Amino acid sequence: MSALSVLLVTLVVAGSQVVPGYEGSLPARAPWPQAVPSPERISLWPKGAPGSESRRAQPEVAQDYWVRNINDPSLTFFPADPRHNSGAAIIVVPGGGHKILVWTTEGIDIAPRLNQMGVTAFVLKYRLAREQGSPYSVERDAAGDLRRAIRWVRANAARYGVDPHRIGVMGFSAGGELVSLVADNPEPADQKPADAIDRESDRPDFQVQVFPGPLGVPAAAAGAAPPAFITAGSLDKCCALPALQLYEQLRAAGVPAELHMYAGADHAFNLGERSSLLSIVHWPDRLADWLADNGWLDGKGVAKP
């Protein structure tokens, strides 16, 4: 065996790096990193969502990028890094036309980007009113799931390192419709609290609308709506107009609102993964600017009761 071969065998067996001319050895190669734990899943109604009694035993159906047959509404928790946790939280509401939930590109893929901003993310799975055979409604059940999610995060804010006065909602397409129904319209008068969580406020502190659908616009309670960041593509036949209408309503009502309409962009641009437009790739940076400028990241200037 050659001298070089002997040296290589010595390195492998010893588990450390022997350096000629150096008395001692460098540290052994670091062990493989531990597996990243799965994100925490939070059931919004541990005893079952109202109206889901006949479907609770049915499993969810998931394929590729989507999920459907959701009968146990839930949140998936993605914490901001403790080193730069701002204390702000955003509940992400994916779209999918109320037929499916676009769980990846409008859900869990959004969370790490928010985490980079110092924002804790909770991704919502809500009941789908327009999938085949669904007994649910958009206004009562899907919007009710979002209301419950806001209340749940607010009630458990201390547990998750969140400021209960800096909880926002972020909706994509059909998810934006739920945001409008909750943030820009009055709560249904016939809803009664089922537990202590239901007694928390369901009003978000701010809203983020990403190519929002038309349901809920025009808003019936624009004057009481929280501040808004709204973005859509100018080529979007579905959702360019609702974005413009909502912005104009909020502006006229004196609600702080910011609008970004992107030329050459259509529906579902998400985080710009498939776009060649730099403006689309960087639109989340504009959201980060807005969050910072309006005090949502440092809490300054945020009114507290």
Domains and CATH numbers, the chain: 1-30 (no CATH), 42-293 (3.40.50.1820)
Strand order in the sheet with 167-172: 40-43, 74-78, 120-125, 89-93, 167-172, 206-210, 228-233, 257-262
Return the higher-pLDDT residue of 204 and 46.
204
Angle 240-134-203 (CA atoms, 0-180°, nearest 5)?
Answer: 55
Return the higher-pLDDT residue of 29 and 95.
95
- In 3D space, the residue among 210, 208, 205, 113 whose CA is nearest the CA of residue 162 turns out to be 205
Average pLDDT of the residues in 142-149? 98
pTM for this predicted structure: 0.87
pLDDT digit string, tens, across residues 9-28: 444 344 444 434 434 444 44
Whole-angstrom distance, CA of residue 112 vs CA of residue 101: 19
The helix or strand, by DSSP H or E, that contains position 200, with its residue range, turns out to be none
Pull the structure tokens for residue 44.
């919004």
